[in-house]
Structure 1
Amino acid sequence: MSRIGYARVSTIDQDLDTQIAKLKAEGCGIIRSEKVSGASRDGRAELETILDFLRPGDELVVTRLDRLGRDTRDVLNLIYECEQKGAFVTVLDPHVSTRGEMGHIVLTVLGMVAQMERRFIKERQRDGIEQAKREGVYKGGKSRFDRDRILQLHRNGEGPTSISKAVGCSRMQVYRILRDA
């Protein structure tokens, strides 16, 4: 029986250290982490790795339920998959586990709250962007890639595949930047 920790933040500039420290303090022998959105399960390779290797009696531990996901259906499906393998899910804040029936009810409610919170965040973001546009101060989202570096690498003879690896983006993103330049 292993306690396997899972830590997740949504963006590259966010820090995983606090979550990892809490998971270590809880006795997690294995901790997998990633920096990817929790809006869906797409692209969450570390979480998939954990699910693939769960054995009966193992315990998946997260610091908060929204680290598993922000969509109620996704969270409930993850919990169901763990249970099908004979494993448990434990959330540290608030401390809830699927080892008991009451834990299932609480996790379902918390999953719904996480989804509602995501909707509120998106709504506030949309309102803020509209306000900034009305005031003429909206400059668009923060650029995630150094476009000048991509163009320079291309001028130096690098291909899209090697550029995408060097910059940390998809090849399609490189093609779009080159097309727009």
Structure 2
Amino acid sequence: MKKIGYARVSTSDQNLDLQLSALKAAGCARVYTDQGVSGAEFERDGLSKVLKALQAGDMLVVWRLDRLGRSLVDLVRLISELGEREVEFHSLSEAIDTSSSGGRLLFHLLAAMAEFERSLISERTKAGMEAARARGQRIGRKPAMTATQLRSARIALKDGSASVETLAKRYNLHPRTLVRALKDVA
């Protein structure tokens, strides 16, 4: 099993030495890094490179889970994708090692917590929307056109004084948006 490491620090002032030493001591043949990149960003050059380099039978090793990312949902998704590719995962500080039964159990517990977190967010969002509707607030995107604009556009199209393209430019819309708005009112 080839161990490949990943290390990240959030600011360019921080130092990677502690992580690099730990990853080398864990037996990583190669270590990819990101320096000065937030964990909230999942599009990172070093992370992209390590994910491309990993092959079936390899193990991705990180010093701590938060070096890989901040969101539990994103972490679970990433580690699940690695598992589908037959790539193991090991976090040194949290002792999560998906090549062992205990590590897989811990990972599944994390996955269950991530699913629970998603459910709570969804429930809170729905409750907030219902409360807003009860207060008479409109939910969703603002209409592309007012009722007056729609009436004017309909009349202009009917009497031939303007084309869909001309009206779309007038109201600063894409022609398909104008057509859709007119159909919704019809």
TM range (shorter): 0.5 to 0.7
Pick the structure with greater CA Rg: 2
| SS of 1:41 mapped into structure 2 | coil
Aligned length: 113
8 Å Cα contact 1:10/1:38 also seen in 2: yes
Deviation >6 Å, runs of 4+: 110-113
Q: Following the alignment from structure 1 to structure 2, what is the Cα–Cα distance between the partners of residues 27 and 100? A: 17
Letter in 1 for 2:39: G
Q: Following the alignment from structure 1 to structure 2, what is the Cα–Cα distance between the partners of residues 4 and 14? A: 22
| SS of 2:20 mapped into structure 1 | helix
> Match of 2:2?
2
Task: Tell me the TM-score normalized by structure 1.
Answer: 0.57
8 Å Cα contact 1:7/1:63 also seen in 2: yes
* Structure 2 residue runs without a partner (length 5+): 118-186
| Percent of residue pairs bearing the same amino acid type | 42
8 Å Cα contact 1:65/1:111 also seen in 2: no
Task: Tell me the TM-score normalized by structure 2.
Answer: 0.55
> Match of 1:52?
52
> Match of 2:132?
none
Matches within 5 A, 1:12-161: 12-35=12-35, 36-42=37-43, 44-107=44-107, 108-109=109-110
**Offset at residue 110 of structure 1 (A):** 9.4
RMSD of equivalent CA atoms? 2.3
8 Å Cα contact 1:23/1:31 also seen in 2: yes
Q: Following the alignment from structure 1 to structure 2, what is the Cα–Cα distance between the partners of residues 49 and 94? A: 24
* Structure 1 residue runs without a partner (length 5+): 117-181
Q: Following the alignment from structure 1 to structure 2, what is the Cα–Cα distance between the partners of residues 11 and 34? A: 10
